[in-house]
Amino acid sequence: MLNAEKRKTILLLIPIIVVLIGYVLYPSIETSIESFKKDGVFTFENYNDFFGEKAEANLEALWNSVWISLLSVFFSALIGIPLAYIFNRYDFPGRKFFSSIAIMPIVLPSLVGVMAFMYLYGEAGLVPNIIKDLFHLSEVPFSIGGISGILIVHAYTMYPYFYMTTSSALNNIDPSLEESAYNLGANRFLVFWKVTFPLLTPGLVAASLLVFMVSMASFSAPFLLAGGFRVLSLQIYFSKINGDLEMAATQSVVLTAVSISFLLFMRWYQNRRDYRMASKGIGAHRSEVSNPVLKWFMVVIGILAMIVLLLPHATLLILSLVPEGGWTWQTYPQAFNLENYRLLFENPNIWDPVRNSLIMASVASLGVFVFGIITSYALVKRKFFGKNLLDILVMIPWVLPATVVGMNMVLAFNEPSIFSFGKVLVGTFWILPLAYFVRFIPLVVRSTTAVLEQMDDSIEEAAQNLGAKWFYTFRRVVIPIILPGVLSGTLLAFVQAVGEFPTSVLLYTLGNRPISIEIMNQLRMFNMGQAAAYGMIQVGLIAIVMIISNKFFKVKTENAL
Amino acid sequence: MSTVNLSTITKQFGSVTAVKELNLLINEGEFFTFLGPSGCGKTTTLRMIAGFYYPTKGKVLFNDKDMTTIPPEKRNTGMVFQNYALFPHMTVFENVAFGLKVRKLNRSETKKRVEDVLQKVRLEQYIERQVSQLSGGQQQRVALARALVIEPDILLLDEPLSNLDARLRDEMRNEILRLQRDYGITTIYVTHDQVEALTMSDRIAVFNMGVCQQVGTPTEIYNEPVNDFVAEFIGETNLLPVTIEEETEKEKVYRNNDLDTSIHVNNSKVNIAFYQESDELLMSIRPEAVQISKEDISGENVLKGEVILVQFTGASVHTYVRLNNEVTIRTTDLNEGPSTYLTEGTKVNVRLPANQIRVIPKARK
Ligand SMILES: Nc1ncnc2c1ncn2[C@@H]1O[C@H](COP(=O)(O)OP(=O)(O)OP(=O)(O)O)[C@@H](O)[C@H]1O
Ligand SMILES: [Mg+2]
């Protein structure tokens, strides 16, 4: 009978392992193998080309990626930490409202965000031109583009990681620690540097590494803004477009190596010192700001921050109302109407991408939903040999930059394999849902694991004791209890899949082109109105999902990030 | 209803032996308690009966039927978990009905039985509540109702009262007993509260470090402990090391070197525990059995001493008497008014009645 338990575990593990090997491990291995091939023979030549003298472009791209990422970490921290400190530690009018606005950047899919920034602060952007006209300047006073553009977009989209970790860390710090420091005679500055900051460090290190990894993988910002500037994730795309799959594979391996070493470093660091949860459940203490000058100063900061944070959203909305041809050579848009939205529903050509995105994201979400439940359950509640290995395997897609996931799919499924039932998947409809599925496995597994870990083992035992068989227990007790966590992860996966750009651009076909691709196409045709309308649809979907999961499942979707 | 028979059960977790060669026969309808300090293997034993652990060695039998490898859902035991393990997403009704649903009872029958059992645990007005909206005591009664409603052959309770405050605990003790008598279910109760064990049980098994030390009725356990562990763990006692001096048909005489005196003990089963030649021996006497007096007392086992501490606890008075530098005896008397309290420093005579002493071996490690 010992075997009955073991048999169940094995039955659970078989599909998990097949999926992970087939769609995570095998594609990664294919990429590695490809990177050692040149014209079909085994060789190190690709790596020679990468690191050697003759291919400066690659090394330059790697170096650029690294320093851009470091700067992104720096700027994100510079914005995120003080904002979190102010919003969590001081009480002033509108604080709650401002702090809920602070995470707004995460509802912008990366491509849409970049686009909004372009039209906001770019050469022909609204802000520089308005300033120019207001002050009757002959030239726009500033504009973003290239490196500065990438950095600003990164700072805007990634500072929430710092904001959220700092906020939660601040709320978990036992107020008496700081109070005792004050009591011992330390001033505000000293208390912050000697007590608060050290307690925040573990969270901050985690956030830094996360931002580093995300900006190493960042694709949309360089794609639209880089100009001639080379970064590694973009180089992969160019190699692929130029048909040099071997080089693309090599670049993917290098990018992966950098990301994985950072992940390992992060794990090691977190295991070494993690006292974030040490004093949980202690409410934040906020100082009431009594000095009126200071108080209004804070409110002004809040309002300014709010405007800066919401400008991209507003721009998107405004642009989406500009019909085709409504803003060409003029400084400002000339016409506003709902034409773009009308076309969405009337022109099948324009509606198709939306439908494709919805279908493909739904398929992928359904996949991660089922797979996430089974995998998390096995990881949390079952004992088996090699659990750590499985855990790592599940998290691989989280470390892999999206571009690399895309390349893995290309290289694994551009020829028949048993995992694709002997068919070539590249160029078919199914390749994109599969790529989305792989990308978002970790998201669902992590959010599900979190709720499962909180579910006491005795709940399952109680059901069993009352005579319920394992499957009945699983269906009627386990799933209903963990459903909020699973759903919040799945919904987040859904909206991210709807906005997903890097894998889409590597794998789409005419028949399954998703919204992001159509945004790119419309931008190429300078029809920013239609592009913005697509963007609005993505933003709207994300907003709906976040509201649903907040209201109905009492789960903060952003926590799954 | 059934008997539970554990035959030479051993359970090992890796190198830790949680339960060692346990033999137990629990009778039909009996209220049986596992008592012992933390980590002694009570929960492990209970979980082997429920089927959540399989014994490393030995057999579990219900009514002579071998259940050793039967999965938990086929054992028809009702377990009340220490943390209740109520299903958080269900109402009181749904929680209690769960076991009946699994057994595919029809709707009206389910409803009737759930209502019946909720009436028994006095929760009928909470039937539609979400379980998270109940107090601790109410949750515990839901857990009990959920276990009882399936009419289990055996009811298993793992420290069900440990999370409750003293008054509620008292109330729940009576409630559990009442329900157990009502249903007449064989019940196994785990606790490390000795008062709970003594007042509720038909029989008690005392565990220490995975080994069952003694099985008996509460009075047997208290009055005739088999070794010093049981004597000390249950109630208060005075222990003095002794060696045998001489033996007659009516009495045995032991020697205690610390007091440099002989101690006479009745030669009966109640006063002399079973021991072997090689065992180290101790004499145990409960504080309430020790007689003290300012006047001279005649007879055997009378010693002189000085009162060093008087503790007033309400119903009784503890008096600590120092007999010499090594030995202090603790005595307990019922409170009979201030005039009877001794004062510290008083010289007194202490008598250890020969029929109240019990000679026991040291527990083997
Ligand atoms: N799953 C397990 N794995 C390893 N060791 C275990 C496991 N369960 C119990 N043990 C060990 O077995 C011994 C007995 O544990 P058990 O839970 O039965 O104690 P207990 O008598 O119920 O204690 P308590 O009164 O504290 O609940 C302990 O030393 C414990 O550490
Ligand atoms: Mg226990």
pLDDT in tens, chain B (365 residues): 789 999 999 999 988 999 999 999 999 999 999 999 988 999 999 999 998 888 999 999 999 889 888 888 888 998 998 888 888 888 999 999 998 988 888 999 999 999 999 988 888 899 998 888 888 888 888 998 999 898 899 999 998 887 777 887 888 888 888 888 888 899 999 988 888 899 999 999 999 999 999 999 999 999 999 999 999 999 889 999 999 888 888 889 999 888 888 899 998 888 988 988 888 999 999 999 999 988 888 888 899 999 999 999 888 999 999 998 889 999 999 988 888 888 888 899 999 998 999 999 998 76
Which chain B residue lies closest to A460 (C-alpha atoms)? B85
Residues of A in Cβ contact (< 8 Å) with B150: 466-467
Farthest-apart Cα atoms in chain B, separation: 77
| Ligand minimally distant from the alpha carbon of residue B157 | 2
- Other CB atoms closer than 10 Å to residue A264's CB: what's the count? 12
CA gap A550, A541 in Å, rounded: 14
Length of chain B: 365
Contacting residues of B for A462, CB less than 8 Å apart: 79, 81, 85-87, 146
Q: Answer yes or no: do B74 and A456 touch at CB < 8 A.
A: no
Q: Is the pLDDT of residue A106 over 80?
A: no
* Look-up of token digits 């400008």: A311
User: What is d(CA B242, CA B263) in angstroms, rounded to the nearest whole number?
Assistant: 9
Distance from CA of B84 to the nearest CA of A (A): 8
Whether this model's ipTM surpasses 0.85 comes out as no
Please spell the DSSP secondary structure of A461-510, one letter per residue.
HHHHHTT--HHHHIIIIIHHHHHHHHHHHHHHHHHHHHH--HHHHHH--T
Task: Tell me the helix, strand and coil percentages in chain B, rounded to 5.
Answer: 25, 35, 40
Examine the pLDDT at A273 and tell me if it is beyond 60.
no
Residue of A465, A472, A487 to mutate when probing chain B, most B C-beta within 10 A:
A465
With beta carbons less than 8 A apart as the criterion, state whether A459 and A380 touch: no
CA of B180 to the centre of ligand 2 (A): 21
Are B96 and B113 a contacting pair, CB within 8 Å?
no
Of B52, B102, B146, the CB nearest to A468: B102
- Of all atoms in ligand 1, which is nearest to the CA of residue B53? 1
Using a 10 angstrom Cβ sphere, with 0-12 exposed, 13-18 middle and 19 or more buried, the burial of residue B165 is exposed
- Please tell me which of the candidates A461, A467, A477 has its beta carbon nearest to residue B103: A467
User: Looking at the partner chain, which of B74, B83, B89 has a beta carbon nearest the beta carbon of A481?
Assistant: B89
Cβ B108 under 6 angstroms from ligand 1: no
Contact indicator for A114, A520 with CB cutoff of 8 Å:
no
- How far apart (Å, rounded) are the C-alpha atoms in residues A293 and A299? 10
Is A466 within 8 Å of B85 when comparing Cβ atoms? no
Count contacts between A and B (CB, < 8 Å).
Answer: 69
- Residue A466 contacts B, CB cutoff 8 Å: yes
Any atom of ligand 1 within 6 Å of the Cβ of B87: no
User: 3-state class of B331 per DSSP?
Assistant: strand
Instruction: Give the C-alpha separation, A129 to A136, whole Å.
Output: 10
Scanning the structure block, which residue is given the tokens 């709720």? A451
pLDDT digits (tens, 9 = 90+) for A113-170: 888 888 888 877 788 888 888 888 777 777 777 788 888 888 988 888 888 888 888 8
pTM of the model: 0.80
Nearest CA-CA distance, residue B8 and chain A, Å = 19
Are B102 and A472 within 8 A, CB to CB? yes
Name the DSSP letter for residue A122: S
Location of each CATH 2.40.50.140 domain in chain B: 228-361
Distance CA B255, CA A520 (A): 100
The SS3 call for residue A432 is helix
**Nearest Cα residue to B292 out of B274, B327, B318:** B318
pLDDT of residue A272: 62
Choose between A557 and A277: higher pLDDT.
A557
Q: Is B192 close to ligand 1, i.e. is its CB under 6 Å away?
A: yes
Ligand 1, atom 14, residue with closest C-alpha: B41
How does residue A282 score in pLDDT terms, banded at 50, 70 and 90? very low
Q: Which of A2, A5, A454, A466 to mutate to test the interface with B (most CBs of B within 10 A)?
A: A466
The residue among B208, B289, B229 whose CA lies nearest residue B17 is: B208
Q: CB–CB of B318/B332 below 8 Å?
A: yes
Give residues with Cβ within 8 angstroms of B178, minimum separation 6.
none
On chain A, the residues whose CB falls within 8 A of the CB of B147 are 465-466
| Token representation of residue B302 | 């009378």
> H or E stretch including A448?
helix A431-454
Structural domains for chain A: 1-43+336-561 (1.10.3720.10), 49-273+288-320 (1.10.3720.10)
Say if domain B228-361 classifies as CATH 1.10.275.10.
Answer: no
The CATH T-level fold of domain B4-223 is: Rossmann fold (3.40.50)
pLDDT class for A430, splitting at 50, 70, 90?
confident
Distance of CA B45 from the midpoint of ligand 1 (Å): 9
Instruction: Give the pair of three-digit tokens for residue A395.
Output: 């998290």
d(CA B314, CA B301): 29
Contact B150 A466 (CB under 8 A): yes
Point out the ligand 1 atom lying closest to the alpha carbon of residue B44.
18
Show residues of chain A in contact with B82, CB under 8 Å. Answer: 458
Q: Kindly report the protein residue whose alpha carbon is nearest to atom 8 of ligand 1.
A: B44
